[in-house]
Amino acid sequence: MPYLLGIDIGTSGTKTLICDEDGTVLATAMAEHPIFSPKPGWSEQNPGDWWLAVCKATRGVLKKAKVKAADVGAIGLSGQMHGSVFLGDTGKPLRPALLWNDQRTAEQCAQIESAAGGRAALIDLVANPALTGFTAPKILWVRQHEPRVYEKTRQILLPKDYIRYRLTGEYATEVSDASGTLLLDVVHRAWSDRLLGLLQIDRALLPRLHESQEVTGTLTASAAEALGLRAGTPVVGGAGDQAAGAVGNGIVMPGIVSATLGTSGVVFAHSDHPTLDPKGRVHTMCHAIPDKWCVFGCMLSAGGSFQWLRNQLGATEVAAAGKRGVDPYELLIAEAAKAPPGSEGLFFLPYLTGERCPHPDPLARGGWIGLTARTTRGMLIRSLLEGVTFGMRDALEIMRQMQVPITQTRASGGGARSAFWRQLQADIYKCPIVLTNAAEGPAYGVALLAGVGTGVWSSVEQACKASIKQTAKILPSKKMSRLYDRQFVVYDKLYFDLKQRFVEMAALQS
């Protein structure tokens, strides 16, 4: 039986996964890699660290799964989106990669919109507005600030595609990840010659395009030796982490939406047609399924807000959890559950690292609004969970306005592990919350894509149908949904009330 290997190059580490032809996960492994911030707002990584992590995690998962190299039938790749790897003549990186959360390119975003003829014209060209996280503004930044690097550049790759190059020697990408460069004509699933011309970026710098399940190359002898695999093993296109995670959660048909609460929060919907938000509040990109698209919104500090609260205000729970051998988040949530729904009108704005969707504002700031002498610790915690979930509902409401069908929401990430937070999501989203047997995210999604590309399954839809099963369903409470409807109306206005104040706050720091 051939086994399938999924590799996901994340921001903090690389995860590997091996599953069989039934989609059953045999083992996973993880290897970390560091992040560097040379200046405030900058975020970089060394691509060589990704490669070392891939080698370590692949050898680790083979050992844990007790799978021989010859039994791995195909490899799928996923990775953090938007990052930029600049390669020279020898195929070596010329500088560290600029990451998705790097904020240095606000000026270049404005230049791109101007070159395209305005924000609306840019969305018409590539389905999305210019955001600091995307790849195109990073390319312009390097050209303007590091001209010698740019002159030596012969290829620009996304993180997972650099790993593909190390595995196969091929310069290739696929449409889901390429959608996040801002250089892809998303509707026609091809590089946008029009925008490339306006920005004076040579198309030869970009890799060839594939669909996600297509075989893009095979393992070279040197790569096979480094990873402990068989030379000639096929490597499929794979997907950017959001589309890969969606495949791994079965978001491959209309009506099924995923709500993933990790460090960031992502609401992801399948679409049979390219559906655009003219205001650019959510992203429209190619899905990891041929001739299918997706709409998703990404808030930057979802679980990250809860982690901040744990680290800064949860020392008591952390200490108690250590003595009892439990997760400190369980104790914090238990405290939140004692507080009244709505937290007596207390609101938390989850903009701890600025915001992306639906408010692309790096200056946005987080905080509690509505504190009174009656406010308890439990209300602080509960209002934070409510505020993060309201932020996720923001994306859902935009999708509803776009006529994207939503019949069920599949919860994943840390927010899916808590029964309290699952019910809170159902009540705030006003939609059933579904759990599945699939909990491994992007690495699992690209393992399934590897199976499709090598004939294990005939389509991505068939792979998901065969492998992913519903395990639980949580229905919203009509009473709680009515209460949170009233709360959401207020929450939705607070960003706009404070937008100009955020600008003034930022000016105080300079």
Catalytic residue numbers read 241
Spatial distance between the Cα atoms of 448 and 17, rounded to a whole number of angstroms: 11
- Residue located via tokens 């032809």: 21
For the record, the structure tokens of 415 come out as 């927010």
Eight-class DSSP state of 475: P
For the record, the structure tokens of 260 come out as 């993933």
Spatial distance between the Cα atoms of 157 and 458, rounded to a whole number of angstroms: 29
Write the single-letter amino acid at 39: K
Eight-class DSSP state of 66: T
Spatial distance between the Cα atoms of 97 and 86, rounded to a whole number of angstroms: 7
For the record, the structure tokens of 43 come out as 């975020």
Eight-class DSSP state of 36: B
For the record, the structure tokens of 72 come out as 């791995």
Q: Are 274 and 315 in contact (CB under 8 A)?
A: no
Spatial distance between the Cα atoms of 93 and 84, rounded to a whole number of angstroms: 10
Q: Classify burial at 27, counting beta carbons within 10 Å of its beta carbon; exposed 0-12, middle 13-18, buried 19 or more.
A: middle
Spatial distance between the Cα atoms of 111 and 122, rounded to a whole number of angstroms: 11
Q: CA-based Rg of the chain, rounded to a whole angstrom? A: 22
C-alpha to C-alpha distances, 365 to 183, 228, 280, 305, 361, nearest whole angstrom:
30, 47, 21, 12, 9
Beta strands at 44-45 and 97-98: parallel, antiparallel or unpaired: antiparallel
What SS3 state is found at 476? coil
Q: Classify burial at 400, counting beta carbons within 10 Å of its beta carbon; exposed 0-12, middle 13-18, buried 19 or more.
A: middle
Spatial distance between the Cα atoms of 311 and 306, rounded to a whole number of angstroms: 9
Q: Which of 36, 39, 38, 37 is nearest to 48 (CA)?
A: 36
Spatial distance between the Cα atoms of 183 and 185, rounded to a whole number of angstroms: 7
User: Sign of torsion, CA 388 307 263 475?
Assistant: negative
Give the CA-trace dihedral at 97, 103, 107, 110, to 10 degrees. 100
Q: Which of 295, 78, 250, 244 is nearest to 173 (CA)?
A: 78
